[in-house]
Amino acid sequence: MPGLKEPKSKEINHYLQPMVDDLIRLYEGLAIPTFECPSGVHIRATLMMVACDILAARKTSGFTSHNSTCACYKCNRHFPCLENGVNVDFCGFDFSRWVLRDGIENRLHAEEWESASNPSERHWLEVKNGVRWSVVIQTLGCWIYHI
């Protein structure tokens, strides 16, 4: 990626789209010629995981960052802000009250974010759901449901 800085969340899809297009084509399948089968062997491939640091993984997969009020990518827990209104208070973990995220719901929230009519609505949806649209969701297919 060009530049000295990483792309912002709203810019990352632009860089990922060519890879996603290739992955979709691989998922649909293509013929690869081999010595034994010059007409081509039909192969398919899919993206099953994204492996990178936490910040990049969240940005790439469409989840909000570690310092958001909906910071957990596994559950729907909303954390309160501290008195300064900026930092998030991550204390008070009560795992028995956590509601796990559902992949179908994640995708619906991402699609809702994508179809939002303006930046302020998108911001509100990010705060509410902890999810934004990522083009990578197109390649994950059913695997997104197991995040």
Quote the CA–CA distance of 81 and 141 in Å, as a whole number. Answer: 34
Tell me: the pLDDT tens digits for 12-65? 899 999 999 999 999 889 999 999 999 999 999 887 777 888 888 888 888 888
Residue 147's pLDDT is what?
A: 45
Q: Specify the DSSP element, H or E, that contains 59.
A: helix 54-61
Nearest to 70 by CA among 30, 147, 123, 112: 123
Domain residue spans of the chain: 12-146
Count the neighbouring beta carbons within 10 Å of the beta carbon of residue 83.
8
pLDDT band at 2 (very low <50, low <70, confident <90, very high): low
Residue 80: left if φ>0, alpha if ψ -120 to 50, beta else—which one?
beta
Which residue's entry shows tokens 């990483």?
6
Q: What is the pTM of this model?
A: 0.75
Of the candidate ranges 40-49, 87-96, 98-107, the one whose mean pLDDT is the lowest: 87-96
**43 alpha-carbon distance from chain centroid:** 26
